[in-house]
Amino acid sequence: MSDTAGAPSGQPGGRRALGPGTGASASGPGRARRRRRRWALGTGLTVTAALVVAAGVGWVVYLKLDGNITPDEAAAAELARFEEERPTALVKDALNILLIGSDSRSGAENRRYGRDVGTERSDTVILLHLPAGRRSATAVSVPRDLMVDVPGCLHRDGSRTEPEFAAFNTAFERGGSACAIRTVEKLTDIRVDHHVVVDFHGFTKMVDAVDGVEVCLREPVDDEAAGLRLPAGRVTLDGEQALGYVRARKSLGDGSDTERMERQQRFLGALVSKVRSNGVLLNPVKLYPLLDAATSSLTTDPELANLRGLYELVRGLRNIPAERVQFLTVPREPYVRDANRDQLAEPAAEKLFDRLRRDAPVTVAQSGERGSATESGGGTPHAKADGEGTDSNGKTTEKDGSEPSGGTSPTPTFSGNTAAEDTCG
């Protein structure tokens, strides 16, 4: 017997040759395990690569949106200069934000709306009050023609203007957002915590980003100056049509600034309802254009001039019911020396400002008096105080509210509307 007896031929040391059915076989369990390992490794690398790409895309999108917002450093510096004369915030976590719609024609996109003369006016000004509990949102329009004390402000050319008693619109024209803020604070004794400025182009982009906003017209509109030709009934306006709608005077309502502000408030209510709908907030395809449009059109105080700041602000608003998003106008009446100007209607105005300062509830109800406006809910007569109740002479009316009795006065009701109201109702 040879020394190799009992061992497979060709295999020294008696080791068995690997053959079919063993671990190294081309069809055996060993190869299956290696295949699983390679598949897992490949899948892991693919998922990792996808996450890296997604994170990269997300970061790029974040940087783009974050970089869209313009910080208003000049206003911040001017407000810091006059910090000692500014009101003190009375309630922690309550916020007051001044929203300014600018009629600036600067820039290629805004030039289409008229010649750039180097100045801009506040086409719309709204003081937005957000209570500490974020249980509601109250938007108070400040009339452009309201006669107010405008402080001395820093002009865009570096000079300083003299204090004057003038129409509110003068403040923004003379000294930009800082002057408008200081004027509002002198008028109301309410601390303005943040401000946001939006131009014409930004407004149209935001409306287009939500695929238009529906309004209701009682009669057809044909206004060449505003670029509007609209049928009666429910109409969905695109960005350009919406801009003409909120700025038009002659063809909508009674032509007064009062009626125009009410129309703007109703449109903003419809826009809020559209943005809050699931079709926008839960649809990335619709949400990104809205965010891009909103951020690229904003000039804000430095604290808000980033996505984190805006997110923290918006996060507190998402659960406010539409019926608690309220719109009203500063109580006012014709100015005694010029019927084409306004003055505060007292005591309604001070009662409103006091409630906002103290973060007390503000209640609004539709006025019983309406003018012959074209759209539903139309214009209020110019002499109306737009204060508590529906008194047309600037006098206040009060009704029982939610505040406790025992020495406290009933909660006043101011003429206004909410985002929940149907403009065709």
Residue 404 binned pLDDT confidence (cut-offs 50, 70, 90): very low
H-only helix segments in 69-158: 73-81
Burial 156-185 (b: 16+ CB within 10 A, else e): eeeeebeeeebbbbbbbbbbbbbbbbbbbb
**Tell me, what's the pLDDT at 354?**
96
Q: Residue 368 class from Cβ within 10 Å (0-12 exposed, 13-18 middle, 19+ buried)?
A: exposed
Q: Which residues have C-beta within 8 Å of that of residue 224, sequence separation ≥ 6?
A: none
- CA–CA dist 394, 385 (Å, integer): 4
Residue 97, φ and ψ in degrees, nearest 5: -120, 125
C-alpha distances out from residue 133 to 27, 129, 356, Å: 68, 12, 14
pLDDT at 146: 95
pLDDT for the residue numbered 154? 92
Angstrom distance (rounded) from CA 394 to CA 382: 11
Cβ 116 vs Cβ 106: under 8 Å: yes
Does residue 68 carry a pLDDT above 50?
yes
Tokens of 323: 């019926």
Q: Strand pairing of 325-329 and 137-141?
A: parallel
Would you state the pLDDT for residue 59?
54
pLDDT higher at 390 or 268: 268
**CA dist list (Å): 310 to 205, 291, 316:** 18, 11, 10
pTM as predicted = 0.75
Which amino acid is residue 210, in one-letter code? V
When mean pLDDT is compared across 50-54, 131-135, 324-328, the lowest value belongs to 50-54
| pLDDT tens-digit map of 281-297 | 667 777 777 778 878 87
Amino acid at 420: A
| CA separation for the pair 140, 127 (Å, rounded) | 5
Please choose, from the candidates 173, 240, 250, the residue with its C-alpha nearest in 3D space to the C-alpha of residue 212.
240
pLDDT at 32: 63
Which pLDDT does position 179 carry in this prediction? 96
Compute the average pLDDT of residues 79-102: 94
Tens of pLDDT, residues 17-65: 445 444 444 556 666 666 656 655 555 555 545 445 444 445 566 666 7
Angstrom distance (rounded) from CA 256 to CA 341:
11
The per-residue pLDDT for 344 is 96
Q: What is the mean pLDDT of the chain?
A: 76
Name the percent of the chain lying above pLDDT 90.
37
Quote the pLDDT of residue 191.
97
Q: pLDDT at residue 184 above 50?
A: yes
Q: Token digits for 397? A: 């009316």
pLDDT digit string, tens, across residues 236-245: 999 999 999 9
Q: How far apart are CA 350 and CA 358, in angstroms?
A: 12
> Token digits for 235?
């109409």
Residue 97, SS3? Answer: strand
96: pLDDT strictly greater than 90: yes
Residue 314: per-residue pLDDT: 77
